[in-house]
Amino acid sequence: MATLRLGDTAPNFTAETTFGTIDFYEYLGNSWAVLFSHPADFTPVCTTELGATAKLHDEFQKRNVKVLALSVDTLEHHHQWIPDINETQNTTVNFPIIADPDRGISTLYDFIHPNASTTATVRSVLIIAPDKTIKLIITYPASTGRNFNEIIRVIDSLQLTAKYQVATPVNWSHGEDVIITPQVNDDEIPEKFPKGHKRIKSYLRTTPQPNI
């Protein structure tokens, strides 16, 4: 399969997980999704990543996001590893971990990069919208743990910009001013953005975040 790109439809699949057998689309329903791969169970960086993800459960939930992790390890290995995550990260894993020992899903989603490893998945993250389109793809090397606070930040931006004609500036975080997109004419701004705006340049106009 060709490499997935932004805007592509995320392929559906059926998988064995630590939450039982799931149909990906049915499991997501009308939720957003974070699907992320990790190189292997019983590895140090992955242990910290899955622990951090579990601790963010409430943050994902209030954003209507379901999280799923995946590696090419077996379901038995996943279940054996989870107590280590819970113990060392002082949490409880509360999301499905997908078993993909035949690498079918990993291949479907291009999670295996031969230049890094011919057998293990890299640290890829996909954010998928309720319409099943892919909105973000990030791939990290195996040696670098991900920043899941950044993933939350991107979800906030994606959900905001899906509803309003705005973009989020560099280092933006929830509650800060946003940029009015060029598609909005100046004379439309008062109606669309009644909180007011600042005109910095003709192409750079900011407004308070409209959904708070």
Active site members: 46
> Phi then psi for 70, rounded to 5 degrees?
-150, 140
Sign, CA torsion 39/24/6/185 = negative
Checking phi first, is residue 115 left (phi over 0); if not, alpha (psi -120 to 50) or beta?
alpha
CA distance linking residue 16 with residue 201, whole number of Å: 53
**208: its two tokens:** 């308070």
Ramachandran angles phi, psi of 210, nearest 5°: -75, -15
The amino acid at 44: P
Q: Say how far apart CA 44 and CA 202 lie, in whole Å.
A: 50
129 Cα distance to chain centroid:
10
